[in-house]
Amino acid sequence: MQELSIDQTREKWKILWEEAEQEILKIGARQDYSEGKDGKKPSYLAWMAKDEVGSRALMDAEGQDPDGYAAMCRQKHAAGVDVCRIDYVEQPLTPYMAWAQEYLHRVCAPAHERHLQVGERQVEGLIFPKDDVVIFGNQSILAYRYEGLGRLVGADFYDAATDNINPFLALKAALLQVAMPLDGSHPKSSLGRGEKIWNWFLEC
């Protein structure tokens, strides 16, 4: 395992993203990243100012940014790479998570990033990370380190050639068995997205 600084983490992420040929999976653990880069996004600031209409318009504009994350996801999708995230979500939603779910729905999902979610019951009995983990093609792992409300300070890098990454792969497999889509597509429910997710958590 290699301990990376924040600058090394960002550089390693870029390299691993560019090299990925099959799959990129992010496991999101926290409920609030408002002290990180997301907290500076215009759409987040508008959302927190109770301007949801303006926030959604800013999200839509960001989704069309040719240099933004959505464009990167589209490129990976076109290359046959599956980009997916599994978020742990608590109820009631934090203000940040309410914004984040709308952001994922309007910006990332149209760019072919798949979104799954799990709740407390789904992670019971699992060794769930305190901070986010990104798995690149079952070969490389970035386990992020945060301070405060989502301030990235670095990451631990694991390589399948030299490190035991089996615990991460086992967690991935277990989560994929129980996670559900962000759109709340549960066959027993015709409620709104957030209500579907919450009711699904209660049923499991």
CATH code linked to domain 2-203: 3.30.870.10
Burial class (CB in 10 A: 0-12, 13-18, 19+), 54: middle
**For residues 140 and 157, is the Cβ–Cβ distance under 8 A?**
yes
| Predicted confidence pLDDT, tens digits, the chain (204 residues) | 999 999 999 999 999 999 999 999 999 999 999 999 999 999 999 999 999 999 999 999 999 999 999 999 999 999 999 999 999 998 899 999 999 999 999 999 999 999 999 988 888 888 888 899 999 999 999 999 999 999 999 999 999 999 999 999 999 999 999 998 876 443 333 334 444 433 433 443
CA 141 → CA 24, 149, 157, distances in Å?
10, 22, 6
Token couple for 114: 């798949």
Amino acid 127: pLDDT = 83
- Residue 23, classed as helix, strand or coil, is strand
At 148 the pLDDT is: 94
Cα–Cα distance for residue pair 84/12, rounded to 1 Å = 19
- Write the single-letter amino acid at 140: S
